[in-house]
């Protein structure tokens, strides 16, 4: 009989994913299909050619390809299909709860109405509750390379759908677009009842993480891996138990770290920070949450206990109610008891 090994343990582990851009889950096959049905011409002759073009050397070179890919998303059904395809994959990896980012400005700036985007995504999230046993929250990101005024307009457009959105976030090109550019927008978002998160310390300096905490009042930091350059910031993150949504394969593809062996995930865990592992843009970075965990385990020698801590941190760091978190953590604990190391 094959022993129940660490690989199967990682596959079956109950998981929460807190950092995934829905537009970054657009697999080349689906992109191809959508281009066909929407009668758009692509620069590529085959799906394989398209997949080969997914090659980057930093955040910006990735973002250029990522925004180009969003052009095929036009109808509410396109947004539904995109989200459903991700949720089906997540269910196969025993993701029990997911908090999904979407980038409305990547669509409204192309003439696709805000409403079309959010209705398609929301319908898939609702259907996933009974059909896939996945609960979810939606986080609206502002594109930080655009102006604060544009972010404010997007915030206003979202208010009709406030009940479908738990938080606002900040993504896109980090360098030269510090959190302090968006203080007013985030203040208004909080006044409207949204929670806040922000990408910080991916390519940007530790000071951007401090700004996100002090000026934007974020509940979590997305990425945050550059915090290690500032020991007093690390102490604060540990003391205040600020979650970091780390994305290992993304960091290697975008050359934040040279290789997964060089990644600081294990150090962050050993320092007692509330770290989680996530996929970011899985269609572009070579893997979903399970692949991120498998590769990190292998490269960094993560133990069964580390993997448990990562899974538990994600449930704790989620925006679920306390009783909902408790229910999922109890499920995780039952899983651990049923699969002793």
Residues acting as catalytic residues? 202
> In the chain, what are the helix, strand and coil shares in percent, each to the nearest 5?
60, 15, 30
Residue 281 is labelled as binding a ligand: yes
Q: Which long-range CB contacts under 8 A does 112-117 form with residues at least 24 apart?
A: 112/73, 112/74, 114/154, 114/157, 114/158, 114/161, 115/160, 115/161, 116/74, 116/75, 116/76, 116/79, 117/73, 117/79
- 24 contacts which partner out of Zn ion, ligand HPA, none, CB within 5 to 8 A by kind? ligand HPA
State the nearest-atom distance from the C-beta of 329 to ligand HPA, in Å: 28
Which CB atom, from 19 or from 122, has the smaller least distance to Zn ion? 19
Work out whether 202 is an interface residue with ligand HPA (CB under 6 A).
yes
172 binds ligand HPA (CB under 6 A): yes
Is 280 annotated to bind a ligand? Reply is yes
Q: Are 39 and 297 in contact (CB under 8 A)?
A: no
Binds ligand HPA by CB under 6 A, chosen from 81, 99, 280, 316 = 280
Query: What's the closest the beta carbon of residue 200 comes to ligand HPA, in angstroms?
Result: 10
Strands 167-171 and 15-21: unpaired
Interface with Zn ion includes 174 (CB under 5 A)?
A: no
Distance in angstroms (rounded) separating the CA atoms of residues 18 and 278: 7
Query: Is residue 339 part of an annotated ligand binding site?
Result: no
**207 known member of a binding site:** no
Give 277 or 332: the residue with its C-beta nearer to Zn ion: 277
From residue 59 to residue 88, the character string flagging contacts with ligand HPA as x (rule: CB under 6 A) and all else as - is x------x----------------------
107 is in an annotated binding site: no
What does the DSSP assignment read for 138-194?
A: EEEEEETTS-HHHHHHHHHHHGGGGGG--EEEEES--TT--GGGGHHHHHHHHHTT-
Report the alpha-carbon distance of residue 179 to residue 166 in Å, rounded: 19
Q: Please tell me the count of residues contacting ligand HPA according to CB under 6 A.
A: 11
Residue linked to tokens 């929250």: 137
- Closer by beta carbon to ligand HPA, 15 or else 199: 199
The pattern of x and - marking residues 255 through 284 that bind Zn ion according to CB under 5 A reads: -------------------------x----
Cα distances (angstroms) measured from residue 339 to each of 8, 133, 304, 314, 334: 10, 22, 11, 20, 9
Q: Please tell me whether residue 99 binds ligand HPA under the rule CB under 6 A.
A: no
Restricted to residues 279-308, the positions that interact with Zn ion (CB under 5 A) are 280
Which candidate, 162, 222, 228, places its Cα nearest to that of 198? 222
Shortest distance, position 284 Cβ to ligand HPA, whole Å? 8
The Cα–Cα gap between 138 and 164 comes to 7
Binding site for ligand HPA (CB under 6 A): 21, 24, 59, 66, 171-172, 199, 202, 250, 280-281
Residue stretches of the annotated binding site for substrate? 281
Q: Which segments are annotated as binding site for Zn(2+)?
A: 19, 21, 199, 280
């Amino acid at each position: 009989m094959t022993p129940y090994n660490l690989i199967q343990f990682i596959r079956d582990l109950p998981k929460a994913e807190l950092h995934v851009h829905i537009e970054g889950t657009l697999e080349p096959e689906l992109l191809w299909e959508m281009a066909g049905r929407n009668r758009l011409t692509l620069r590529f002759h085959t799906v394989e050619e398209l997949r080969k073009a997914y090659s980057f050397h930093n955040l910006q070179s990735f973002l250029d390809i990522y925004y180009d890919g969003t052009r095929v998303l036009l109808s509410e059904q396109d947004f539904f299909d995109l989200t459903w395809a991700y949720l089906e994959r997540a269910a196969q990896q025993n993701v029990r709860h997911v908090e999904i980012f979407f980038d409305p400005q990547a669509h409204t700036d192309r003439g696709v109405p805000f409403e079309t985007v959010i209705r398609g995504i929301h319908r898939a999230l609702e259907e996933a509750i009974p059909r896939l046993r996945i609960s979810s929250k939606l986080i609206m990101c502002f594109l930080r390379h655009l102006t604060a005024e544009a972010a404010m307009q997007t915030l206003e457009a979202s208010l009709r759908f406030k009940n479908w959105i738990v938080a606002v976030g900040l993504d896109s090109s980090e360098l030269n677009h510090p959190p302090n550019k968006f203080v007013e927008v985030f203040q208004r978002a909080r006044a409207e009842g949204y929670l806040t998160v922000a990408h910080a310390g991916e390519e940007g300096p530790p000071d951007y993480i401090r700004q996100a905490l002090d000026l934007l009042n974020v509940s979590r930091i997305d990425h945050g891996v550059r915090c290690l350059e500032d020991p007093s910031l690390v102490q604060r993150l540990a003391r205040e138990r600020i979650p970091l949504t780390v994305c290992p394969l993304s960091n290697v593809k975008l050359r934040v770290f040279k290789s997964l062996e060089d990644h600081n995930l294990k150090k962050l865990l050993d320092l007692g920070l509330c770290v989680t592992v996530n996929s970011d843009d899985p269609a572009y970075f070579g893997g979903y949450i399970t692949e991120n965990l498998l590769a990190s385990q292998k490269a960094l020698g993560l133990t069964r206990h580390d993997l448990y801590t990562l899974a538990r941190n994600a449930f704790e760091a989620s925006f679920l109610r306390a009783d909902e978190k408790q229910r999922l953590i109890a499920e995780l604990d039952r899983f651990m008891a049923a699969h002793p190391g």
